[in-house]
Structure 1
Amino acid sequence: MQQFINAGQTTVSSLLLAHFHELGITNDEFLVYLELKSFYDAGNHFPDMATIAQRLRLSSTQVYQIIHRMIQKKILTIDTTQDKQGRSQDQYDFALMYRKLATYLSQQNRQVVEQKSSDQRQALFEQIETEFGRPLSPIEYETIAAWLDQDHYQADVIGLALREAVLNQAYSLKYMDRILLSWERKHLTTKQQIQREQEKRQQRQPSSGAAAQSSTEDIPQIPMYNWAEPDDDDKQ
């Protein structure tokens, strides 16, 4: 147990372990990386190649070839530094590999965000078509795309504007656009901000008496407020 403790540990990033193949690193190259890192963590930054070969059950020539490939792939460099006495010292450096991993992860995250945005866009188109009860025209597609790309309205905010338009039986993008502009003027840019504003408006509404409630029992519910007054053609 004491020998186990004294031997120390080599820590490897789980991200690197999961994605080293995507970086173009082979199994043999990754094993060499692990060996070099174990020595590096122990303070030996440039271990003898014969020692690495012995531990991996490979020849020194094979280890040399693997390291040469890693240098060609720009996942390993050999840097030369000077100690306090001015003597030159070589050391293995895997900074390029870590940068490659960071770049790969950044690209993956960007692709996920782009795919999510594309899915939200398609879902928004389908939601509006469902509520309007008809396919959207090419111009309407362009209008919605402009809301997303040029005005930078969030998809869920446009969804709230759609809900307000439907509640007011105004099935048009023109009406929705007036709602969105009204929210923008009030600096309401997120779904949460708009919902809080709606709650405040509802709380400011005067409470109805029992008689008034009884007299309006058979009246269909309508929105408690309008963000915009629809034109006659908005309700067509």
Structure 2
Amino acid sequence: MDIPFSYQKLLANQISIPSQLLSDYQSLSLNETDLVVVLHILHLQQSGILLPTFDQIAHSMTLNANEVSNVLKKLRNQSLLHIEQVKDESNQDQEWYSLSPLFNRLYEQEETSTKEEEGKLFQLFEQEFARTLSPIEIDTVSHWLDEDQFKPPLIKAALREAVLMGKLNFRYIDRILNEWKKKGIRSTQDVKQETASQQVQQAPKEKRDTSVYYNWLEE
């Protein structure tokens, strides 16, 4: 397929940024202005300007140099940006704006949030089973999380399906998750869409109320 020249130019003239930055910058108490300043720093550094001046950053923005200075001061005060030294190709010391602290904090928060969510998942299982999980059951949940890479919300959804079907056991939950995996279902939204599709197909021949649940493993 031939890509239009203008689109080729667009693809070539871009910077790579973590999607996590766009989705979670507010968790670091940053606003949209702070975010755009960070993006301009990344853009300028990609073009070889490691320590851009306030004027260089403000050049393509509606902010003036003083306002850019205030944003950088905020980032430094929050320990999200440091000025560090780096060796260039000639082994000469150069200073640059390091945003590593910002990205480290960003992903540390994600990891902490994930661990908290996983902890609540184990509590939910014990609540539904009305007992403490056995070591083998704990290993099973850990395998779903670490090896199969199922997200906690999806595992919760499978647990809910087992509860609604009156088949509260780990083998049944495991079969549900593997059935979803075969179908390419990786989120609770995928589950809802697939459930709705199956309910429509079964409506003429099903007498029971399928508005609450759907038996994923029914032949």
% same residue: 30
Residue 216 of structure 2 is aligned to residue 227 of structure 1: yes
Q: What corresponds to 2:154 in structure 1?
A: 157
Higher relative contact order, chain-length normalized (CA < 8 Å, sep 6+) = 1
Q: Find the partner of 1:128 among 121, 125, 130.
A: 125
Residues 51-200 of structure 1: pairs in structure 2 closer than 5 A: 75=84, 94-95=95-96, 98-99=97-98, 102-200=99-197
Residue 79 of structure 2 is aligned to residue 22 of structure 1: yes
Contact map agreement 1:121 1:155 (CA 8 A) in 2: yes
The two structures have a TM-score, normalised by structure 2, of 0.58
Q: Displacement, 1:189?
A: 1.3
CA 1:21 to 1:164, structure 2 compared with 1: closer, same or farther past 3 Å? Answer: closer
Contact map agreement 1:188 1:194 (CA 8 A) in 2: yes
CA 1:21 to 1:196, structure 2 compared with 1: closer, same or farther past 3 Å? Answer: closer
Distance in structure 2 (CA, Å) of the matches to 1:180 and 1:24: 42
SS of 1:75 mapped into structure 2: strand
Q: Displacement, 1:116?
A: 0.6
Q: Displacement, 1:135?
A: 1.4
Gaps of 5+ in 2: 1-63
Distance in structure 2 (CA, Å) of the matches to 1:184 and 1:110: 27
Distance in structure 2 (CA, Å) of the matches to 1:187 and 1:124: 22
Look up the equivalent residue of 2:79 and give its one-letter code: E
Alignment root-mean-square deviation, CA: 3.5
Look up the equivalent residue of 1:227 and give its one-letter code: W
Distance in structure 2 (CA, Å) of the matches to 1:149 and 1:193: 21
Q: What corresponds to 2:39 in structure 1?
A: none
The two structures have a TM-score, normalised by structure 1, of 0.54
CA 1:184 to 1:12, structure 2 compared with 1: closer, same or farther past 3 Å? Answer: same
Residue correspondences, number: 151
Instruction: Write the deviation string for residues 96-132 of structure 1: whole angstroms up to 9, x where unpaired.
Output: xx11xx1101110111011011011011111111111
CA 1:16 to 1:176, structure 2 compared with 1: closer, same or farther past 3 Å? Answer: farther
Q: Displacement, 1:19?
A: 3.2
Distance in structure 2 (CA, Å) of the matches to 1:198 and 1:153: 18
Distance in structure 1 (CA, Å) of the matches to 2:75 and 2:186: 38
SS of 1:19 mapped into structure 2: helix
Contact map agreement 2:126 2:133 (CA 8 A) in 1: yes
Q: Displacement, 1:227?
A: 1.6
SS of 2:69 mapped into structure 1: coil
Q: Displacement, 1:222?
A: 9.2
Q: What corresponds to 1:205 in structure 2?
A: 202
Distance in structure 1 (CA, Å) of the matches to 2:130 and 2:211: 20
CA 1:184 to 1:221, structure 2 compared with 1: closer, same or farther past 3 Å? Answer: closer
